[in-house]
Amino acid sequence: MKGLDTNTLARYLRDDDIVQSAKAARLMQRAINENQPLFINHVVLCELTWILTSVYVHTKNDLIEMIEKVLAAEYLELEDRNTVQSALEDYKSSKADFADCLIGRNNLKACCEFTLTFDRRLRPLQSFRVH
């Protein structure tokens, strides 16, 4: 298995650079043809959402669609797919950033009762306590 970095995944999803996007697409196609999954860790997903909102100014709905696309791709192996899916559900139903949702879900999985924060946007999420 090979891991993907944020730039490669972003180029593949955005298809916005003639050279790099084409290389990323060939990489993905090769992985499919060879039945060799590509690994995406949580840091890559967090960086991806940051890039897509700050550099490319994608909407929350765009991010949800892209994360769902990543989750649905059989040739992509995600670090703890279930936690990513739970974080995505939190993200859909709150004003929190995706990275915050993933932090909260990762901490719950690590047997934390909740995650302490000052961020009031996280109040509705069970995985956080605002103090």
Residue 51 lies in a domain: yes
pTM of the model: 0.90
At 3-34, the pLDDT tens digits run 999 999 999 999 898 999 999 999 999 999 99
Residue 65 lies in a domain: yes
Tokens 């060799």 correspond to 36
Residue 9 lies in a domain: yes
At 32-72, the pLDDT tens digits run 999 999 999 999 999 999 999 998 889 999 999 999 999 99
- Total domains in the chain come to 1
**Mean of the pLDDT values across residues 104-131?**
96
Which domain, by its residues, includes 12?
A: 2-79
Contact of 3 with 38, CB cutoff 8 Å: yes
Nearest Cα residue to 42 out of 85, 90, 92, 95: 85
Residue 118 lies in a domain: no
